[in-house]
Structure 1
Amino acid sequence: MAETRRRGEALEAAIVDAVWAELAESGYAGLTVGAVAERARTSKAVLYRRWPGRAALVIAALSQHAPSAEDVPDTGTLRGDLLALLRTIAAGVSARSIDALWGLLAETARDPDLAALVHEKLTELQYNGPVVTVMERAVRRGEVDPARLTSRLLRLAPDLVRNELLVYGEITDTAIVEIVDEVVLPLAGM
C-alpha cells in the first residue's frame, strides 16, 4: 500500500521530529537539510520552500518545543505563574536543545540574515509568548502596573534562563527561584 502524501501540520510535525532526531544523532554541526529530508521522508525542495536552511529548520524545531501561552497554568499569582513557566521551560531542556542554541549562536555571528531571523523569532515570542500571558494576568489581578511592562522586562526571564543554559549547561530550580524573586519581581514593582 502506497504511503499517503503528507501536507500541512502532518508534514511539518514529521520534519520537526526529523530535526530533533538529527540533532540527537549528529548535533547541530552535523545536521544537514538532506539528512532531515531523508529522515522525514520528503524532499530537500519541500524543506527549502518553507525554510531557507538548516538554521531556520532548527529555529522551527525549537519553537515547536517551546512552551506556549496555553501551557502556563494560572496559579493565581505572578510569582507562581513565573515559576511554573520557567520550570516548564527547564523540564523541556535537553542536551540537543543546548547544542542547537550554541550552534545557532555561532552561526548568527557569521550570517546577518540568520541573526535577523533569530531576532525576529525572539521578538515574536517577547510580544506573543507565554511571558506576556503571565504578565497580562498579573495586570488584570492588579499585581503589576502595566506601565512597568517594558520590552526589557518582558524578555528578561527567558533571556536569563537562556544565559544559564548557555553558560552553565543547565537551569536549576534554585536559579529559577532567584531569577523570579531577585530580578523579575522587583523590576515588576513587587
Structure 2
Amino acid sequence: MERRRGAELETVLLDAAWDELMEVGYAQLTMESVAARAHTGKQVLYRRWRNRAELVVAAMRHHTGSIVDNVPDTGTLRDDVLGVLQRMADRFTTLGPDTIHGLMAEAPDLDPEVYRRMTGVMRTVVERAAARGEIPTADVPAQVLTAPTNLLRHEIFFTHEPVPSSILTSLVDDVFLPLVSGTPRRSG
C-alpha cells in the first residue's frame, strides 16, 4: 500500500475521527480507535493533535466547516449575528449534547485559540456593521463582542436540547444589539 502524506493523510485521519465520533460518541472515542480506523499508528495522530479534544475540534471543522472561513455577510448586523449563532446552534445539533459536554469538560486541553476565534468572527461582523453605518463604532469591548456567543455556549452547556430560534433572537435583539447600538430593542 502506498504511504499517505500531507493533506491526503490529514483528510483520512479527520474522516476517521469524524466517523468514530458519529459511531461511538465522544466518551468512547480514543486516539487508538481513530488510528485503527485510519489504519495507522496513534503516534501519527499525536504528531498533529495533542489530545482527543483537539482532534475532535479539527474533525468537526473539517466536516462542518469553519465559521472563520465563512463569516455571515447578509447586509445587516442583526442577521449576521443571527447567522453566527445559528451556525453554532446547528453544530450543537449535529454533534449532540454528549460531544459538546465532553469537549467542554476537556476545555483546558484545548488551545486557547479555539475561544479567540469567535472574538475575531464577531469583530468582523461589527466592523462591517459600523462601515455600513448601522452602529456608531466598531470599537466594542471584547466582552460585548462575545456576549451572544458566550451566552449561547451557556445555553448549550446547561441543556441537552437544541437551542430554539427564539433564544437566538433574544440574544441578538434583547442583549447584543442594545449593547452595540445604545438603543434598547425588544424581540417579539
TM-score (norm 2): 0.82
Counterpart of 2:186? none
Counterpart of 2:76? 77
Percent of residue pairs identical: 41
Counterpart of 1:176? 168
Alignment of structure 1 residues 35-184 onto 2, 5 Å? 35-64=33-62, 65=64, 67-94=66-93, 96-108=95-107, 114=109, 117-123=110-116, 125-128=117-120, 130-144=121-135, 145-147=137-139, 149-169=140-160, 170-184=162-176
Counterpart of 1:33? 31
Question: Is 1:22 the equivalent of 2:14?
Answer: no
- RMSD value, Cα: 2.2
- Kept after mapping to 2: 8 A contact 1:51/1:57: yes
Q: Once the two structures are superposed, what CA deviation does each residue of 1:89-147 show, in whole Å capped at 9, x if it has no partner?
A: 32333363532221122234xxx5x1xx3533202x0343x322211211211223122
Determine helix, strand or coil for the equivalent of 1:174.
helix
Counterpart of 2:180? 188
Q: 1:96 to 1:84 in 2, by over 3 A?
A: closer
Q: Which moved more, 1:41-50 or 1:172-181?
A: 41-50
Displacement of 1:49 in angstroms is 0.7
Equivalent residue pairs, number: 179
Displacement of 1:70 in angstroms is 4.0
- Kept after mapping to 1: 8 A contact 2:31/2:45: yes
Determine helix, strand or coil for the equivalent of 2:57.
helix
Q: 1:185 to 1:159 in 2, by over 3 A?
A: same
d(CA) in 2 for partners of 1:47, 1:56: 10
Mind listing any 5+ residue stretches in structure 1 that lack a counterpart? none
Determine helix, strand or coil for the equivalent of 1:50.
coil
Q: Which moved more, 1:48-57 or 1:99-108?
A: 99-108
Displacement of 1:44 in angstroms is 0.9
Q: Once the two structures are superposed, what CA deviation does each residue of 1:136-171 show, in whole Å capped at 9, x if it has no partner?
A: 211211223122x21112222221222222222211
Q: Once the two structures are superposed, what CA deviation does each residue of 1:1-44 show, in whole Å capped at 9, x if it has no partner?
A: x3x43333332222222222222222222111011112123221
Q: 1:131 to 1:11 in 2, by over 3 A?
A: farther
Runs of 4+ aligned residues of structure 1 deviating over 4 Å after TM superposition are: none
AA of the residue aligned to 2:48: R
Mind listing any 5+ residue stretches in structure 2 that lack a counterpart? 184-188
Higher helix share: 1
Determine helix, strand or coil for the equivalent of 2:106.
helix
d(CA) in 2 for partners of 1:156, 1:141: 22
